[in-house]
Structure formats: C-alpha cells, structure tokens
Structure 1
Amino acid sequence: MSVKLDAIIFGATGFTGQIVVEKAPEVLESLTWGIAGRNKSKLENVLRKASQATGKDLSAVPIILADVEDRKSIEEMAKKCKIVINCCGPYRFFGEVVVKACIEAGTHHVDISGEPQYIDGMQVKYHELAQEKHAYVISACGFDSIPAEMGVVHAERNFPGTVNSCEMFWENMLDYRDKDSKAVLHAGTWESAIHAMANYRELRRLHHALEHEKLPDLRPKLKYCPFIRKVQFLDRYFFAIHSGDRDVVMNTQRLRYVDNQKRPVQFENYIGFNSFWTTLVTQMILLFTAIMAQIPCMQRILIKNPKFFTRGLMSHEGPVAANRATQKFQMTFRTKGWAEGQPFTEEPKQELLTRLSATDPFYGMTSVSILAAAKIILKENDKMPKNGGVISPGYAFANTGLIEELSRLKDGLKFEVLKLER
C-alpha cells in the first residue's frame, strides 16, 4: 500500500467494531479507510455484512492483518494510516501496544475506552512523547465520555457568563422488543468494568502523577451528594457515580487550567430511575459488585457470568438489533454560574438547563462518535490544541465542530437548551 489511508478501523471483527464499520461510509464520507484485525476471512465477512446493511459495495475496502500479540504487525498498521480507530478491548490488556505504535509512527489514535486506569496510564506514560510526535491520542470517544464531555462544552457555549459548576443527570429508557433477550451491553464492557473495579487503587497513583499542578480552590464549592435523592425538576431518584465520566471531565478541566489558565468547571454526575427502590437496588448491586471484584476468584466468576450477575442486561451475545433500536438515554445538565458583569464575590445567580439525548447510545451513537472524532482530527486539526498529546475529548474538541457533526448524523446526539434562569 503506497499511499497512506486516512483511517484504519482496528478490531473490526469485534461486536462494536462491526457496527463501527457499518457506520463508516456515512461518517467518513470522502475519506479513505480500511479495516484491520487478526483473521482475513472474518474481516472479509465483516465487509460483506456491512455492505448488506448499508446497501454500499465495500468489497474494495482495504484489509490489513494486525494482531496485538505481534508488535511488528501493529507497527506496520500504524504506518499505513493517519489515524487508527481502535475498537480492540479490553484496552487494559490490548491498548498500550497500539497507542505506542501510533505515537512512534506519528499517527493519531482514538478509542472508546471507559477504563480509567488505561486512560490515565497512557497519559502518564506517553503524553510528552505524543506531543513530540505531534500525535493526538484521545480515549473515551464513545458513550464514555463524549455525551458528558460535549454536554459540558455545549452548556458553556450557551451560558452567558462564567460557569462555576455543572451537574449531569443521566436517565436510560429501555423497551425490549425482543422479549427473549434483555441484553443492553456486550460482555466485553462488563469485563472492562470488573477489571477497573478490581484495580481502583491504581487510580490514586495515576491521579497523583497527573496532578502535578494544584487546581485553584474554587468557591462556592459544588456540593456532592453521596445519598439517593429525588431531583424535583426531573421527578426521578438519582445517586452519584463518582468516577467514569466525572474522571474524564475533570481531566479536561485540569488540562485547560494548566495549559490555558481557564477557570475549571466543578462537575458531578448522577444516574436516575423512576422509583426509589430501583435506584437503591441498583446502587447496592454496584457496591456489591465492586466489593466482590476485589477477590481474585470472584473476579473470574464475575467475568465468566455477566448474564447472571446483571440479570441479563449484559451477555456474551450482546444486545439484538431490535432492542438496540429502542434503547434511549438523556442527560440533563444543570449549570450554575455568574452572569456577565456579576462580581465573583457574590453567590452565582444564573442557572442554565440543557439536555443531550440519543437512541442506541451504547453502540450506534458510540460508533458514530468515534468515527466523527477521527474525522474532526483529520479535517479540523487547526482548531485543536496545537501540540498533540494524550488528551481528553472535551479538551481536544472544545473549539471544533464535533457538536455540529454529531447533531447531523443519524445515530448522533441531539443537543437542546431548555431554560435559562437569571
């Protein structure tokens, strides 16, 4: 292959990777792209299925053989494109070899990882090298954490003044068309989550390594509520998830403060349900799972039996197409701060409500998000942070047209401004 491709979708035979391939003709449009993985016949089958699903002839799409167990093949793949769209997880085990190869080749890298140890670990190890090579390495470009990150960016763009804090309230709506399958997520997500829970102590060391410059002591402090509470304006019960999206958003706030001297936005995220008891049971299950994940033998049992421990919500088969099409989510953002001209010494009086929503968030929206992120890196490089590096989506894409791109795509995101109170 004498001419570099614009993009290569690596891990194209995986559950999410196949959906990314199906969405690629719509999102990547005029860009040149190929697919990569270990098995040629399986990759050819992915292209056949994608051709049937899209009505487009994809038989001429280049196929590249690459295996994370063969470092040289990964290095060769990285040299053949401008950006690698990495769908091969769990990234804790399979991500670093691809990241390192991309940086050394001066190739950009995006993935859909929501694994905090991997995300922070890559930033600690490779940020400076990526800057030297002018390569962008951006994780969390799927459901984790494009909605949260771009939701904060969208709120800030529409807030007439200075933002002090932003709270995100996440709600899922499920409608099982296929009654024989209740799966919402593939078991790969469950495995990544178990490993993240089992190694949470690792995060302290990584956070310490990243937080080399202390953030300002912001006032007034955003109050963190660890207990279940009813949010009146949504008429639902919520509990806080003090990790995941929050870690990524706060990494963005740290980067923009250190690099651009911008005031950080305080952020908390909550997940909600219709009833108090559903909320309580969900919180208890998450706590129980996190505790059991600390025991090595229980880790293995949890990983092998996702359907049992999640009551069918996660499985090795993954969600069927009929159920994916009916899955919906919305995230409502309550943003508070100072109106233009209001002194910072006063209590912030202005409040803005905004909302993001989408269907098929875990796979359809995730797939178009990572593709759109790759496209923006190639098309709007001049609007991104100048030096490259291992950075978060909110920092990378804040000044780009990613929100507009996601708004126009079939399985993208809907952005709304609900209400401004002064």
Structure 2
Amino acid sequence: MVNKKYDIVIHGASGFTGKLICNYLFNHIDAKSIKWAISGRNKSKLEEISLKYNVDYFIANSFEKNELDILTLKTNLIISVVGPYETYGKLLVESCLKNSCHYLDITGESSFVKYVKNNFSKIALDKNTLIINCCGFESIPPDIGTFYSIKHIKEKNLSIKCYMKTKGQISGGTWSSFLNHFNRKKIIKEKNKTKTPIRKKDKILFYNKDLKKWALIFPDIDRSIIKSSSNFLSFYGDKVSFTKYMLFPSIFKIISLLIPLFFISILAKFNFTRNWLKSFIPSGTGPDKEAREKHWFDYTIVGETQTKKIITHVKGGDPGYGETSKFVTETALCIILNYDKLNMKKGVLTPASCAGDLLLNRLQKAGIQFSHEIYEV
C-alpha cells in the first residue's frame, strides 16, 4: 500500500451517518493504530467535528476535481457517505483511481453500482486499487451472511432465500435521496435497465409456515452483490441463487406499506410536492441515540442443496445508521490494518470477496451475531 499522510478519510463527515462513523472510529480500539481525517462541503460543521475528535479536515466539493484530487492524494482510503451516489459519487471514484486511493461507500443504488463495475473494473486492477460499493446495511448482512453459510455447510451452488425483519427509522438524507429518485428521469431510465429482475420462479408474496410470517419479495441490490461474490469466490460454485424477502406479521401490514409508497411516488415527481415531502424529515436529521438503541435487524438466510439445508441468523442493532457505521468502518479497518491477509487486493469487489473471514471476525467482535443450524434434507 502506498505510504500517504492519512489512512482513512471520511467524506461527508458532517452528515448524519458521517457523524456516526466519526464517533465509531474515534472510540474504536484500533483508532490509535491509524491516522484519519474528515472532509465535506460545510466548513463550520467540519471545524466542529475536527475539534471534537482532534482530526484534520478538508473542504471537498463532489463536483470539484481539484479538491477531490487533493483529498485522494493524501489518503490511502476514502469512506464516502455523500449520496445520492449517482449524482455525487462518480468524480470521487475517478479521483480515487487516478491517485491510487481505495474507496468504500454505503450505496444501495443499483445504477451506480453497475456504472462503477462497467467503467472502472479494469482501471482498478491496473491501479492496484480497491473499489467496494454497498458496505452498509446494503449489503453486508446478506453478503457476509451468505459467505458464512457457504463456509459452514461446505457445499456449492446453494439456493438461498433471505428473509429480513427490521425496526428502524430513516434520516433526512436518506429520505431526500429516496424522493429525488422520482425526479431524475435519466436515473430512473437507467435504474429500469439495471434493477434486480424478478425471476419467473420467484414467489412475489407468500406465507412462510416455518417463520409464521408473510414474505414479500424485495428485489434490491443484494442479489447482484451475492452474484458478484460468487464470481470471485470459487467455493460458492457457479450456480448460487439468491432471493430476498421482507417479513410482515400480516397481509394488512403489507398493504399499509404499499399504499403510502404508491402515493409518495406520485407526489415526489413534482418539485412543489417533493419539497413538501422533504420537510417532514429535514436533511441532516435522523433518529437520536435513544431511538437507535431500540432499533434492530434480523436476517434469516436459508440455503439449500439437494442433500443439506443451512439456516443462518444474522442479528444486530440499528440497521440504517448505527450498524451501517460499524459495517463500513470495520471494512475499512480490514483493508488498512490487515491488507496482506485480504482475499483480493485490487479491483471492483464486494465486501465478502475482498475481506471474507477478516470482516466476519471483526463484525462478530463488534457485536453482530452470526449463528446457524444444518439439517439433512
């Protein structure tokens, strides 16, 4: 790894999630082993965070190439929490590759992930640089959970059904990004091309008798990430399948979610009503510490072959922010402190294909619970 002044820079440090990452890193047992800094657009907010944690800060606008180059020339790794990434992320990835700076983000935007993969895979290999998207709640629990399952069942070509239960609350930034998607015709057009397809054999809605819950298909970025991991990790086999579902206690809960989403999608297409919707959760706000401590997530990952079944449970706290801060920070620390032990050291990768067991062990030590049972079929 190139010797630079900083090991890690948190880009977007003054945002809601950025602040949580700063706090997590500052209090981490490995913090004394690294030198880190922060960056963003708001000088006054950055100064406040800089003083709180005694770290340097940089002013870096996502559309100013020179400011981004100054940043990536000085650090080994960037954690980017500035979204929507389709709008704010492309120039930063280019700058990271130009200056041999590893890059992590917490995006869940399938169009951005595909753009990065299609445009930067070869360059990342040539520049010996790591580019890893989806290092937050999307998609570390299912990605590392699948990795964990395949390692323990010791079988290839699993058929995986992933069931998700959560209790949480979104921040203003996430809410704004969600609403903005409905106004960017170019992005919507691209997303329609790149969204995870629903296969004909996938059930869209059904009652799971084992879990005693209704399961609604959730075709997000996770399937694409697991597929990429399987392409890099030979012990997965070349025919791994993955389908994700959200769990609900009743059909009425599903209806109560889908109806508001339908009307929000219509209102968000117009500037006036979209801005009105944004006012309900202002940018920079999010669940406070007391609320986050009551939040949780619970994944049940069921993997089957013709002879065996493994049921893996992945559990943790506040999914969108508290644990997302943990996920991306622990991934960064794997790269900085355990670089020689990584599965792969360059390219556009996934968390599992890059850090695998290293990241699994870190997450377990950090309080993320992994457990499993194996049955004969």
Residue 406 in 1 paired to residue 363 in 2?
Answer: yes
How many residues in Structure 1 have an aligned counterpart in Structure 2? 367
User: Which piece of structure 1 moves more, 32-41 or 70-79?
Assistant: 32-41
Q: Which residue of 2 aligns with 1:252?
A: 229
Query: How many angstroms apart in 1 are the aligned matches of 2:118 and 2:145?
Result: 26
Q: Which residue of 2 aligns with 1:384?
A: 342
**Aligned with residue 297 of structure 2, among 329, 342, 351:** 329
- Match of 1:186, as an amino acid? S
Query: How many angstroms apart in 1 are the aligned matches of 2:279 and 2:239?
Result: 40
Partner of 1:242: helix, strand, or coil? coil
- Match of 2:224, as an amino acid? D
TM norm structure 1? 0.79
The structural deviation recorded for 1:148 is: 1.1
The structural deviation recorded for 1:325 is: 0.9
The structural deviation recorded for 1:92 is: 1.3
Query: How many angstroms apart in 2 are the aligned matches of 1:240 and 1:302?
Result: 27
The structural deviation recorded for 1:288 is: 5.2
The structural deviation recorded for 1:100 is: 0.6
Unaligned 5+ segments in structure 1 are 52-57, 175-183, 209-220, 309-313, 338-347
- Is the 8 Å Cα contact of residues 143 and 362 (structure 1) preserved in structure 2? yes
**Aligned with residue 325 of structure 2, among 332, 353, 367:** 367
- Is the 8 Å Cα contact of residues 156 and 236 (structure 2) preserved in structure 1? no
Q: Which residue of 2 aligns with 1:417?
A: 372
The structural deviation recorded for 1:315 is: 5.2
- Is the 8 Å Cα contact of residues 85 and 109 (structure 1) preserved in structure 2? yes
- Is the 8 Å Cα contact of residues 17 and 325 (structure 2) preserved in structure 1? yes
The structural deviation recorded for 1:3 is: 5.0
Partner of 2:83: helix, strand, or coil? coil
Unaligned 5+ segments in structure 2 are none
Partner of 1:64: helix, strand, or coil? strand
Aligned pairs (5 A) from 1:134-213: 134-173=128-167, 184-196=169-181, 199-203=187-191, 205=193
Partner of 1:269: helix, strand, or coil? strand
Query: How many angstroms apart in 1 are the aligned matches of 2:109 and 2:201?
Result: 26
Residue 86 in 1 paired to residue 84 in 2?
Answer: no
The structural deviation recorded for 1:419 is: 4.5
Q: Could you say if the C-alpha distance between residues 302 and 185 of structure 1 is closer, same or farther in structure 2, counting changes exceeding 3 Å?
A: same
Residue 128 in 1 paired to residue 103 in 2?
Answer: no
Residue 275 in 1 paired to residue 232 in 2?
Answer: no
The structural deviation recorded for 1:385 is: 4.9
Aligned pairs (5 A) from 1:54-65: 58-59=53-54, 61-65=55-59
TM norm structure 2? 0.88
Query: How many angstroms apart in 1 are the aligned matches of 2:144 and 2:200?
Result: 20
Residue 98 in 1 paired to residue 92 in 2?
Answer: yes
The structural deviation recorded for 1:334 is: 0.6
Partner of 2:156: helix, strand, or coil? strand
Q: Which residue of 1 aligns with 2:241?
A: 266
Q: Could you say if the C-alpha distance between residues 154 and 261 of structure 1 is closer, same or farther in structure 2, counting changes exceeding 3 Å?
A: closer
Q: Which residue of 2 aligns with 1:358?
A: 316
